């Protein structure tokens, strides 16, 4: 979630390693078995009419790429003036760290996520 026009993003939910396959596969696979996720927004997200929700991912095989989708959203009923979470990891893009192709090793790159710094984000209008 970003409150500064997309300059910084604090993570509100994370799905790591087996995102599209649901569990550790027996071998390398490109077959999608999970195509949707449901999660609750944290109750302590600040309210704002100008927040940006993002979903990002690093592909498991093929070209080493970083993907991201964003949406402008309004958050209503938040119970806090700020939110603290881990900073969104960016990898396989420009000068950011490279996560090697997984090739069945779903531990590749996990240190980047486990060691992501904690940041606090808040709406400009607060």
Give, for all 126 residues of the chain, the pLDDT tens digit.
999 999 999 999 887 766 766 666 666 656 666 667 788 899 999 999 999 999 988 877 777 788 899 999 999 988 899 999 999 999 888 899 888 887 767 778 889 989 999 999 999 754
Q: What is the number of residues in the chain?
A: 126
For residue 123, what pLDDT is reported? 93
DSSP 75-115: E-S-S-S-EEEEBPP--SSTTSPPPPP-TT-TTTTHHHHHT
Query: Phi/psi zone of residue 115: left (φ > 0), alpha (ψ -120 to 50 degrees), beta?
Result: alpha
pTM of the model: 0.81
For residue 126, what pLDDT is reported? 41
């Amino acid at each position: 979630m970003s409150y500064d026009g997309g300059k910084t993003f604090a993570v509100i939910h994370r799905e790591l390693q087996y995102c599209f396959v649901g569990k550790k596969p027996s071998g390398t696979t490109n077959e999608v078995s999970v195509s949707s996720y449901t999660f609750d927004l944290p109750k302590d997200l600040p309210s704002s009419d100008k927040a940006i929700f993002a979903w990002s991912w690093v592909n498991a095989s093929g070209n080493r790429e970083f993907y991201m989708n964003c949406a402008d959203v309004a958050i209503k009923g938040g119970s806090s003036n700020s939110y603290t979470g881990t900073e969104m990891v960016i990898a396989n893009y420009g000068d950011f760290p490279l996560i090697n192709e997984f090739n069945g090793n779903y531990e590749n790159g996990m240190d980047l996520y486990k060691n992501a710094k904690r940041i606090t984000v808040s709406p400009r209008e607060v």
